[in-house]
Amino acid sequence: MVKSKNIKIKDTVVSITELNKEDYICLTDMAKAKTGDNRAADIIKNWLRTRTTIEFLGTWELLYNPDFKVVEFDHFKSEAGLLARQQQNINRKF
């Protein structure tokens, strides 16, 4: 059974959903607190693209997903952060 509750942190309401006795905190609510409603999705998208996040997700999948496709994941991992590195290289040249 899924249960939901809210907590208030520094005037920001954050939803918590309980499923199978595990709590899940709403990342969107946390991102809204930092930047406002209109930029929350951008904050999460940028976080999901970072190399460290991709590596964390890959490790989690290796541990908990017996059907995880490591070879396919390697492509995503190699591309993670690539755009940021390319931009840094461009800025160094100028």
Domains of the chain by residue range: 1-48, 50-94
CA pair distance 88, 23, nearest whole angstrom: 38
In the predicted structure, residue 82 carries a pLDDT above the cut 60: no
Q: Which residues contact 40 (CB under 8 A, 6 or more apart)?
A: 28, 31, 32
For residue 22, what are the β-bridge partners? 19
Each residue of 42-75: pLDDT tens digit? 888 888 888 888 889 999 999 999 999 999 888 8
Average pLDDT, the chain: 81
Q: Which residue has the tokens 């290289």?
A: 89
